[in-house]
Amino acid sequence: MYNPGSMKVSEFINHNEIVATLQYADHHKNDILLIESILQKAALNQGLSHREAAVLLECQLEEKNREIEQLARKIKLDFYGNRIVMFAPLYLSNYCINGCVYCPYHGRNRNIVRKKLAQEDIAREVTALQDMGHKRLAIEAGEHPAMNPLEYIIESIRTIYGIKHKNGAIRRVNVNIAATTVKNYTKLKNAGIGTYILFQETYNRSQYERLHPVGPKHDYDYHTGAMDRAMQGGIDDVGLGVLFGLDSYRYEFVALLMHAEHLEAVHGVGPHTISVPRVRAASGLDNRGFQNGISDDNFAKIVACIRIAVPYTGMIVSTRENPKVRERVLGLGISQISGGSRTSVGGYLEPEPEEESSAQFDVIDTRPLDEIVHWLMDLNFIPSFCTACYREGRTGDRFMALCKSGQIQNCCHPNALMTLQEYLLDYAQPETRNLGEKLIYSQMGNIPNKKIREIVTDHLKQIKQGDRDFRI
Ligand code: SF4
Ligand code: SF4
């Protein structure tokens, strides 16, 4: 039976409830009165239930679909303004014992070069990332108890935080590694991780078991219960995601929101982020088992409906998407993007020839970070390198409380401007710097609190004199 407060996976991600929700949404897809009442509720910025959100996703009425899009844009602006937080992935190792059929790192793939970074390699990669201007990383590694034990991950996190090159520093390390035990999550917490990220891939149990035929990841319940164990282990910020295209996007959408409801019901705090990757071709893969690819229009609608359903949750899109698609979804609800990414192990220092690929997927948006920063500013977004909340201990429910208080505008906006100023001085090309200086100047008036405006004016001067790392 469906129960969001249960710790039993089959009760909080309940197949019958998902099927009933999809039938309900299909039945009401032209129900104008119901859709209007859901939109009215959503306009209060309090979010929606999975059933309500499913009706919006299914809505066939053109005018109401336009309203859904407008509301998503408004909620995005209310909570995130025009800021976009920047990050980069760092692949530590592609050794993996799992058999995920959609991932080239799967253990039986002989067409891929296996690599694992030693600590000296990590130091060099991080230096290269700092020289691009990055402050926030997401580390990634396959599951391999012998090659990538937890001790290796923790040592790598220490190495990353320890590199201080010129004015560079990595100030937040998010971690995307396989599901593990409560004890191990506590170790990760103690190592100072930001968000623990784990994609569900697909919530459909039978499809999940088919696409993960071997390895520890085959265990659906263990994988799906990972976020509960992470939170029990003391990690406040967890990042959910599905790989759209493995199963029906409608099914994934409903289950993803049920997972968010479950975290809120049990731990009092929902997911910190939701990622929305779409499945991509990669070397050594047979994709006959998962041809559920989604169109750009459906993808944009999914982003808009997630934005409306969980306004307090950040949303991430990666360089798997082309610039046109990224531009389209930025306004609809995306709050974080990666830039200048390499998805191969060791790829920041030495880009690989194709025949020696160790990459997890092909990067579609291959532009360097500076070009992406320039592009965002041209679109009137503020690229932000902010990591303030994590460093001020504003995680989990403390972060959510700040978010819900409306005061986040007095934090995020000034922090975005100050970290952008650092980037412009230390890493930007002259043209990007000019554009950014003008943007910062024009955006100062949008800091609501006068006192904070004065503090930021002062800090910006100090940054120009060489000081770094101010935050509100
Ligand atoms: Fe391994 Fe992750 Fe790839 Fe699966 S998705 S094969 S667990 S690296
Ligand atoms: Fe994120 Fe906090 Fe910085 Fe806002 S102030 S951008 S929520 S880290």
| pLDDT computed for residue 185 by the predictor | 98
Q: Is the predicted pLDDT of residue 358 greater than 80, yes or no? A: no
Closest approach atom of ligand 1 to CA 217: 7
Confidence of residue 279 (pLDDT cuts 50, 70, 90): confident
Q: What is the pLDDT of residue 338?
A: 95
Burial 52-69 (b: 16+ CB within 10 A, else e): bbbbbbbbeeeebbebbb
Beta bridge pairs of residue 239: 197, 273
pTM: 0.96
Higher pLDDT, 445 or 352: 445
How do the domains of the chain map onto residue ranges? 21-77, 81-366, 388-464
Going from the Cα of 441 to the center of ligand 1, the distance in angstroms, rounded, reads 45
Residue 312: nearest ligand to its CA? 2
Structural element, H or E, at residue 419: helix 409-426
Q: How much distance in Å is there from the Cα of 385 to the middle of ligand 2?
A: 9
Using the mean position of ligand 2's atoms as its centre, give its distance from the Cα of residue 387 in Å: 6
**What CA–CA distance (Å, rounded) separates 89 from 341?**
6
State the pLDDT confidence band at 356, using cuts at 50, 70 and 90: low
Residue 408 has pLDDT above 80, yes or no: no
Pocket (CB within 6 angstroms of ligand 1): 96, 98, 100, 103, 105-106, 142-143, 178, 217
- Which residue, judged by its Cα, is nearest atom 5 of ligand 1? 103
pLDDT category at 428 given cuts 50, 70, 90 is very high
Among 13-22, 197-206, 279-288, whose mean pLDDT is lowest? 279-288
d(CA 442, CA 440): 5
Name the band, by pLDDT with cuts 50, 70 and 90, for residue 219: very high
pLDDT over 80 (residue 362): no
| pLDDT at position 354 over 70 | no
Beta-strand pair 314-317/273-275 = parallel
Asked if residues 82 and 90 have their Cβ atoms less than 8 Å apart, the reply is no
Question: pLDDT tens across 63-116, in order?
Answer: 999 999 999 999 999 999 999 999 999 999 999 999 999 999 999 999 999 999
- pLDDT of 47 > 60? The answer is yes
Say how many Å lie between the CA of residue 239 and the centre of ligand 2. Answer: 15
Cβ atoms of 87 and 136 within 8 Å: the answer is yes
What class does CATH assign to 81-366? alpha beta
Show the ligand 2 pocket: residues with CB < 6 angstroms. 85, 384, 386-389, 408, 411-412, 415
Among 91, 93, 98, residue to substitute to test ligand 1 (most atoms within 8 Å of Cβ): 98
Amino acid sitting at position 347 = G
For residue 87, which ligand has an atom nearest its CA? Answer: 2
Reported as a pLDDT band with limits 50, 70 and 90, residue 288 is low
Question: Measured in angstroms, how far is the CA atom of residue 105 from the centroid of ligand 1?
Answer: 6
Instruction: Kindly state the average pLDDT of the residues 412-423.
Output: 97
Task: Please check whether residue 424 is in contact with residue 433, taking contact to mean a CB–CB distance below 8 angstroms.
Answer: yes
Ligand nearest to the CA of 216: 1
Distance (Å, rounded) from C-alpha 84 to C-alpha 312?
A: 15
Lowest mean per-residue pLDDT among 80-94, 150-164, 351-365, 442-456: 351-365
| Two tokens, residue 90 | 């760092």
Ligand 1: centre distance to CA 79 (Å) = 33
Rounded Cα distance between 317 and 329, Å, is: 8
Q: In percent, how much of the chain has pLDDT > 90?
A: 87
pLDDT on residue 349: 87
